[in-house]
Amino acid sequence: MTEDEMRAASDLLFSHWANQALLDELPARLRPQTRAEGYRVQAFIAAHTAQPLFGWKIAATSEAGQKHINVDGPIAGRLLAERVIADGGTFALGRSFMRLAEMEFAFRMAHDFAPRGTPYTQQEVMDGVASLHPAIELPDTRYTDVTKAGVAQLVADNACAHKFVLGPAAAIDWRGLDLAAHPVRALIDGKTVGEGVGANVLGDPRIALTWLANELSRHGLTLKAGEVVTTGTCVKPVPITAGNRVQGDFGPLGRVRVSVSA
């Protein structure tokens, strides 16, 4: 793909986001064929935001999640500042297609991780973390059938990144906790509707964060200090509807909340 074709693909996808419209797939001449081309298309979303990048999301961090969108591994997308909802705020469904809430461990970075030839170790990445947060991701897509889009087109469409709720930083010393075994609950209107553990996220949220740092590095991208990484849902995605009060309960690590409107 030429740079103009990549920009046109990004603009087409963004216009569908703005109009809450769907498409079956990108036109052939604007369709990325590889993961790398998908990330290059995704990067042009920066032209549609006036604010610094809020952070990154990881999609398909479980076998079930990979089967759901028919990919063979995780993919990364950008979290736009304009799409972040304050903890306790309201998410307007509008013509959202997926209508799901995902409970996720999120990390705010303290250091930059620039592209390099050797992979970052988990210890290096965790040493570069400033804080851990409970979070809710509210994903969506512009494709009528995500199972047919393929990795490259899903990456181009920002890996289903849409709205995002960041809870307060964990007030306890979390670094010594076994995050893989840490329980998480999803609640709708005060009732538990799903339970999971951190191991549902590539075996451990710290493994997922390390994967993200290295995925960006492989594609010439920098994970920057101050950015937030949400590491994938550790509870089966929860269907939501207007009027719901959604809560993620991470026990001693805190809670995060969002209300859903029409």
pLDDT single digits (tens) 16-68: 999 999 999 999 999 999 999 999 999 999 999 999 999 999 999 988 899 88
Q: Tell me whether residue 119 is exposed, middle or buried, using C-beta atoms within 10 angstroms of its C-beta: 0 to 12, 13 to 18, 19 or more.
A: middle
Residue 187 pLDDT level (bands cut at 50, 70, 90) = very high
| CA–CA gap between residue 18 and residue 54 (Å, rounded) | 19
What is the second-level CATH architecture of the domain 53-261?
Alpha-Beta Complex (3.90)
| CA–CA gap between residue 120 and residue 122 (Å, rounded) | 7
Q: Average pLDDT, stretch 143-168?
A: 97
pLDDT of residue 63: 84
pLDDT of residue 67: 87
pLDDT of residue 91: 98
Phi first, then psi: give them for residue 51, nearest 5 degrees: -110, 160
Query: Which residues does residue 101 pair with via DSSP β-bridges, in sequence order?
Result: 238
Query: Which residues does residue 255 pair with via DSSP β-bridges, in sequence order?
Result: 249
pLDDT of residue 156: 98
| CA–CA gap between residue 258 and residue 242 (Å, rounded) | 11
- Please write down the HEC assignment for all residues of the chain: CCHHHHHHHHHHHHHHHHHCCCECCCCHHHCCCCHHHHHHHHHHHHHHCCCCCCEEEEECCCHHHHHHHCCCCCEEEEECHHHEECCCCEEECCCCCCCEEEEEEEEEECCCECCCCCCCCHHHHHHCEEEEEEEEEECCCCECCHHHHHHHHHHHCHHHCCEEEECCCCCCCCCCCCCCCCEEEEEECCEEEEEEEHHHCCCCHHHHHHHHHHHHHHCCCCECCCCEEEEEECCCCEECCCCCEEEEECHHHCEEEEEEEC
Neighbour tally for 207: CB within 10 Å: 19
Query: Cα-Cα-Cα-Cα dihedral of 140, 229, 1, 18, to 10°?
Result: 40
Q: Average pLDDT, stretch 231-258?
A: 98
List Cβ neighbours of 5 (8 Å cut-off, separation of 6 or more).
29, 30
Q: Which two structure tokens, joined as six digits, stand for 98?
A: 């997926």
Residue 135 · residue 165 · CB < 8 Å: yes
Residue type present at position 28:
A
pLDDT of residue 254: 98
pLDDT of residue 154: 98
| CA–CA gap between residue 53 and residue 46 (Å, rounded) | 8
Q: Which two structure tokens, joined as six digits, stand for 20?
A: 């809450």
**pTM greater than 0.75 (yes/no):** yes
Q: What mean pLDDT, rounded, does the chain reach?
A: 97
| CA–CA gap between residue 163 and residue 84 (Å, rounded) | 6
Q: Average pLDDT, stretch 98-106?
A: 98
